[in-house]
């Protein structure tokens, strides 16, 4: 699909910057807005059709300035889960009010001709008692999940009341090339590889039996763009995951294998305030049925590719 102008909020982050790379050959102009609270300026591709704007989605005047003429918005910007637990006010302002402003200003400046993709999270499922967990379920236990879930509802309001096309996707534990190991709030996969590079033990919070649904970044992006190109998907919410549970202990062993170690030491630390989820796996039947997508990259293969990128100098594209 070809686009004139696309805006990516949080476009200096892991997923946001990868979206920009995917869009490069198909856009006349890509505008990235990011306050670099966790993103990296160098992650944004240096290309003629890419413009970087330093700023926040909570700045309504800035949104009014950059949004006119936009065909598609990828709203990826948000406060990090760990930071959200430490500062609920910031979480509210960024994740809820900021998202509300993105929807509002997109409609005011572009009308119904613009479409908005809202990146939500599997954190809205909390410690689910239904596994794999379908989109109809929710259990809100943290400020991050509360703000992200509330923003989903505002997206629905703008869609139903004002005809603004909004597509909501719930990502879960996306990992892979491009995830900065230097970011203290990066995912556990990157943290494990970084620990090994430093000759330090991997840190596991709790007993390590907690499970997650780890999704390789290229699979996640394939899912996202499959949904964007599917008219039936707009106005709805979709899980993006594998449907497979992997314990953190199993992940640590798989990371060690990918780096060529049969055994690697781990250290167990007490659970953090955000460590509320015992098990997670997403039901991905809906996206398979509507968009014909399913994850294709096994965990071991995804970890090998990530390891090659981190330590072998391979390009992340």
Q: Which residues are known to be catalytic?
A: 144
What's phi and psi for 46, nearest 5 deg? -90, 95
Assign residue 131 a region (left: φ > 0; alpha: ψ between -120 and 50; beta: otherwise). Answer: beta
Structure tokens at 8: 């990516």
| Interacting residues of 197 by C-beta distance below 8 A, sequence separation 6+ | 181, 310, 311
Task: Yes or no: say if 247 and 211 are a contact pair by the CB < 8 Å rule.
Answer: yes
Of all residues in the chain, what percent are helix, strand and coil, respectively (each to 5)? 45, 20, 40
What's phi and psi for 147, nearest 5 deg? -70, -40
Q: What is the DSSP letter of 270?
A: P
Rounded Cα distance between 291 and 304, Å, is 28
What's phi and psi for 175, nearest 5 deg? -140, 165
Interior/surface letters 282-292, b for 16+ CB within 10 angstroms, e for the rest: bbbebbeeebe
| Nearest-5° Cα angle at 16, 14 to 20 | 120
Please report, for residues 3, 47, 256, 290, the alpha-carbon distance to residue 27 in angstroms, rounded to integers and kept in the order given: 5, 11, 40, 25
CA 193, distance to chain mean position in Å, is: 20
């Amino acid at each position: 699909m070809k686009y004139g102008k696309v805006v990516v909020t949080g476009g200096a982050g892991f997923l946001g910057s990868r979206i920009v790379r995917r869009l490069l050959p198909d856009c006349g102009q890509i505008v990235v807005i990011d306050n670099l609270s966790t993103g990296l300026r160098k992650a944004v591709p240096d290309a003629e059709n890419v413009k970087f704007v330093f700023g926040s989605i909570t700045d309504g005047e800035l949104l009014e300035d950059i949004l006119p003429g936009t065909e598609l918005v990828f709203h990826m910007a948000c406060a990090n889960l760990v930071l959200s637990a430490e500062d609920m006010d910031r979480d509210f302002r960024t994740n809820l009010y900021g998202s509300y402003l993105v929807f509002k200003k997109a409609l005011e400046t572009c009308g119904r001709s613009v479409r908005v993709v809202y990146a939500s999270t599997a954190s809205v499922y909390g410690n689910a008692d239904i596994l794999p967990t379908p989109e109809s379920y929710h259990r809100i236990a943290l400020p991050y999940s509360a703000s992200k879930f509330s923003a989903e509802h505002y997206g629905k309001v703008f869609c139903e009341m004002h005809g603004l096309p909004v597509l909501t996707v719930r990502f879960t534990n996306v990992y892979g090339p491009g995830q900065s190991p230097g970011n203290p709030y990066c995912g556990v996969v990157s943290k494990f590889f970084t620990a090994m590079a430093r000759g330090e033990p991997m840190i596991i919070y709790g007993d390590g039996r907690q499970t997650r649904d780890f999704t390789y970044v290229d699979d996640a992006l394939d899912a996202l763009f499959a949904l964007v190109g599917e008219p039936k998907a707009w106005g709805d919410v979709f899980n993006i995951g594998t449907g497979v549970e992997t314990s953190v202990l199993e992940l640590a062993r798989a990371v060690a294998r990918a780096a060529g170690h049969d055994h690697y030491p781990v250290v167990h630390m007490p659970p953090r305030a955000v460590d509320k989820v015992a098990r997670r796996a997403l039901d991905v039947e809906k996206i398979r049925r509507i968009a014909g997508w399913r994850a294709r990259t096994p965990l071991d293969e995804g970890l090998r590719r990530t390891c090659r990128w981190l330590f072998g100098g391979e390009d992340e594209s």
